[in-house]
Chain A
Amino acid sequence: MAYSELIKNFEKIRDYMREFYVYGFKNRSEFTKKSPRAYDDVRRRVDSYLGDYMSFSRTVDGKSVFLSIDTRDIQKNPLYNALKAKSFTDMDITLHFIVFDILNSSDICLTQNQLIEKIIDDYLSEFESHTLFDESTLRKKLREYEAQGLIVSQKRGKALYYKRPDPVFLPPLREPLAFFSETLSCGALGSFILEKSDTPPHIFSFKHHYITRALDSDILLSALLAINERQEILVQTCSKKKAEPTSLWVVPLYVFQGTQNGRSYLMAYDLNNKKIVPLRIDYILKITPVGKCLDFDLYRQEFNSMRPYMWGVTTKRDKTSTEYVEFVVQIDKGEDFIYSRLMREKRCGTVEILDDSHIKFSAHLYDSWEIVPWIRTFIHRITEIHFENKHVERQFYEDLKAMQRLYSESSSALLGESEGCDDF
């Protein structure tokens, strides 16, 4: 098949783009999921969509492709471009522009037959080569446009008439669109509105901006729609640990987004295992609604009751108890900012001033391993630390000693001795 820039299924490039952007060191032979030809086509497409942001490096193992972007320098997420690469047929694009040219104001109201007549007489007849198009193609298109809200139908007698919806009044939205299309979920929708207006000046920039979420736009959209409609859904998800995708029957409750680690989760009630689970949104392949959930509020209530014990996304597991964690940090004179830091970053924890130079943090958590990376940010200040979960405590100390060895030994010593947990 001849190369095409456009693609039918976004999943074809979603994984690749994430690999190029997040990792960027794999060469052609390491993309094992598909054929080398498929890899070449994807690389070429992404290069075309993202142009200047693509870079290449050559090592003894081969050439690797990566996307290198300092997100503080950009005003628009460049990954949105990939969402503008959906393929279509010749008839799709022809009918699209002709139908909306005929229905160019909301005062014009026509039946399908009247539309066909006009399409043939006023438009297609102008071309030398004839185009065959049947009634059912137009009917299908009109139904699609109606579902998208681009046209509305009205029944008059027995005939069905089509027209544009009445125009909506909107104040100038250029600046809010420039901001929210980068900061709000499914922002690609805003960026598509924005690009129809004059290009806005570079007013906003974004720090700590995780742009890969653009690649999950449709999954996130399906999740949010399901939450909004209180739907039960089937979620097909993949993971690095399992070769085959797995399917889960869940009630989606919230979208949890990390502002510090780039991860997003769908927090959902697993109807088979009767527990709340965090599902990585970037690992979700497909969401299918299966019906209304009558107990949605109940599940949300259950989840909300867990929030005071969640540092990250781990909810109550099979065990009923929480794990207590506490640590004390020392501060010098003029280091009140540490107290401010603890207060703004404490989440579900409690901060207590012990004396002029010591502050205590404590929390009861479902999973105390989740808080360890944050505790490490206070390294050089911790005078006391206690974990109720002794395995976590031992691991914390072992890792700390491993850190010391790392910087004490020669430059090649990047070896920790601890086996540790799989992930935080």
Chain B
Amino acid sequence: MIFNEIYGAYYNAVCEIIKESLKKPLSTQDLRRLVEKHAFKESAPLLIPQIKNEEWKLIKKDGTTPLKNPPTLPLTTLQKRWLRSVMLDPRIKLFIDTPEEILPEVEPLFMPEDIVLYDKYENGDNFTSKDYINNFRAILNAILEKKCLIINMTKKNGCFSKVLVRPIRLEFSEKDDKFRLIAEGCSFARTINLSSVISCEATDKTVKRQSPKKETESLVLQVKDQRNALERVMLHLAHFKKTATLDEGDTYQVTIEYSKADEAELLIRILSFGHLVRVVSPSSFALLIKERIDKQISLLNLN
């Protein structure tokens, strides 16, 4: 079972408490600090009395411990088996050259073919290409070492381009099966598909730091809960920051925050729900939908 106390927050907190108590007797403030850091928000008033009252024979009233070593725990069989499954995933080559040498005697928890992402796009990145792996690692190292990168890449229009950027993060989309580099320093290269990178190298040159700018918009939808539409919409859009309220009867109002750059993608996702979802605002978004529907009605001579 994954839901097991040995992986639990209280065990983690107690582990850290024992580690510190081996160095010096712990005060109540020390306990509070450690519990707040390693357990849950409300844990301190529940956990500390159990320690102080010696209900767990691990920390004495004077804040010392009879334990002799900083606690350590071997990996569980489940963790090893999961790691073995990781080593069978083609994407592991992005990180490790010889994954077959890691835990070779351990039986995997599952095989890659046991799990099917049935609606994943077919033009995903080639994670086993040598050039792709080299570029991925160069970018990853640059992020870790906080270095800028000179990237030779192919732009959407097919032209070559050389850019100097500060890499921030690697964004992965399961649906697209692609990595994108989120970067700053170049206005037309804030998001770079890794598959479009020809080569890259770290540089000591720098770019001007920009305060993170997130252009988000609110999209307000009205959802009619027929044909299980509410569940489909809410689950479909679950990864957005959102709120929902019941309007009346079986009609709900859902507000999601989305990035302006993803508007085209979101537009077709909303269209996929058909007449059970209506865009309330922004009106420009609703207008785009209306125009598409009107054109479609006309193309199929449904007027």
* Interface, chain A (partner B; CB < 8 A): 4-6, 10, 21-25, 44, 47-49, 51, 55, 57, 59, 61, 66, 68-72, 81, 83-88, 90, 92-94, 96-98, 100-101, 104, 122-124, 126-129, 131, 148-150, 164-165, 167-168, 170-171, 173, 175-176, 179-180, 183-186, 188-190, 192-193, 195, 201-212, 217-218, 221, 224-225, 227-228, 254-263, 310, 312-313, 330, 340, 343-347, 372-374, 376-377, 379-383, 385, 397, 399-408, 411, 414-416, 418, 420-424
Contacts and interface: CB of A to CB of B under 8 A. Distances in A.
Contacts of A422: 227-228
B66 A122 contact: yes
A418 to B, nearest CB: 8
B235 A377 contact: no
> Chain A interface secondary structure, helix, strand, loop or mixed?
mixed
A261 B15 CA distance: 39
Contact of A401 (B71, B140, B302): B302
Contact of B175 (A85, A205, A259, A373): A259
A168 B75 contact: yes
Contacts of A346: 122
B25 to A, nearest CB: 14
Interface of B: 1-12, 14-15, 18, 40-43, 46, 50, 54-58, 60-61, 66-69, 71-80, 82-83, 85-86, 89, 91-92, 95-96, 102-103, 107-111, 114-123, 140, 143-144, 169-176, 180, 182, 222, 224, 226-228, 230-232, 234-236, 238-246, 251-252, 257, 259, 268-269, 271-276, 278, 280, 286, 289-297, 299-300, 302
Given A104-B72, A221-B2, A262 B235 contact: yes
B241 A69 contact: yes
Contacts of B108: 228
A23 B253 CA distance: 11
A183 B174 contact: yes
B209 to A, nearest CB: 16
B40 A10 contact: no
B11 A66 contact: no
B227 A420 contact: yes
A218 B66 contact: no
A21, A189, A221, A422 interface centre (most CB from chain B within 10 Å): A189
Closest 5 CB pairs of A and B: A149-B77, A402-B275, A380-B292, A48-B42, A377-B268
Contacts of B4: 86, 148
Given A400-B302, A401-B302, A380 B291 contact: yes
Given A96-B6, A377-B271, A262 B68 contact: no
15 contacts: A51-B40, A88-B5, A97-B67, A104-B69, A148-B6, A150-B6, A167-B74, A207-B180, A208-B175, A224-B109, A377-B271, A380-B293, A400-B274, A407-B293, A416-B226
A417 B143 CA distance: 54
A221 B1 CA distance: 8
Contacts of B119: 258-261, 312, 347
A126 B114 contact: no
